[in-house]
Amino acid sequence: MPQPSLIAIDGPVASGKTTVGQCLASKLSYNFLDTGDLYRAVTKLVIDAKVSNNNEVAIAELCNELTLVLSDNQTTRIIAFHQDISEHLHTEIIDSNVSFIARLPKIRSALLDKQRDMAKSGKLIMAGRDIGTVILPHADLKLYIEASAKERARRRWIQYGKHEGLYKTLLTEIERRDHLDSTRPIAPLKPADDSIIIKTDDMSLKATVEYIYHMYCFQE
């Protein structure tokens, strides 16, 4: 079996798919794109421009301002209005609005070609929620990384400092995001028919990456 050139990694929020994808890309010397950051970038532009979430046409026009650029360290930078906004996409207000923006059909359509264009040169790992089903249906390897909502909330709780009362809030938000992502009418969250499902409740990040690498990617 030849080494996969295009790898699609899907999974629910906080499943670790982005970190797994980044680590795997580093081991394989592949480029990496987290498509969730594209939707976060659009959400940031919407918030900055004070565009209504209901103005789908105006939001779709903002998508035209986004450019994807590969950096020297195999990651993808997102440029908007000639500025690199890659480091400004993980804020509370973006977290609260991105699921709604990502559900809009015109926005998903506007970003489709940008994502597919990234894959044309090969040797790319792309992570998201509809990569194997919509964006790269012909990817050489499709992975679906999942863990229970409780485990994902626990991991986030540890990541955020184990603050009292935070776990319940995180669990509620993760369950809300799961529902929104899996029930949206366009490109709902689900594994592709030919995805390899990897459940990581009892696996560390390192173990997950090593398992994927040696089982599906490593070539003697």
Domains and CATH numbers, the chain: 6-215 (3.40.50.300)
Structure tokens at 162: 């184990």
pLDDT at res. 114: 92
For 98-128, write each residue's pLDDT tens digit: 989 998 999 999 999 999 998 988 899 999 9
* E-assigned strand segments in the chain: 6-10, 31-34, 66-70, 76-80, 83-84, 124-128, 141-146, 196-199
- How does residue 70 score in pLDDT terms, banded at 50, 70 and 90? confident
- How does residue 73 score in pLDDT terms, banded at 50, 70 and 90? low
pLDDT at res. 66: 94
pLDDT at res. 22: 94
* E-assigned strand segments in 23-117: 31-34, 66-70, 76-80, 83-84
Minimum mean pLDDT range among 141-145, 200-204, 213-217: 213-217
- pTM for the model stands at 0.92
CB-based contact 198:145 (threshold 8 Å): yes
Residue keyed to tokens 């506007």? 110
CB-based contact 39:135 (threshold 8 Å): no
pLDDT (mean) for 119-144:
94
220, pLDDT greater than 60? no
Cβ partners under 8 Å of residue 14, min gap 6: 152, 153, 155, 156, 174
For 180-210, write each residue's pLDDT tens digit: 889 988 889 999 999 999 999 999 999 999 9
Whole-number percent of the chain with pLDDT over 90: 80
Cβ partners under 8 Å of residue 173, min gap 6: none
pLDDT (mean) for 163-181:
92
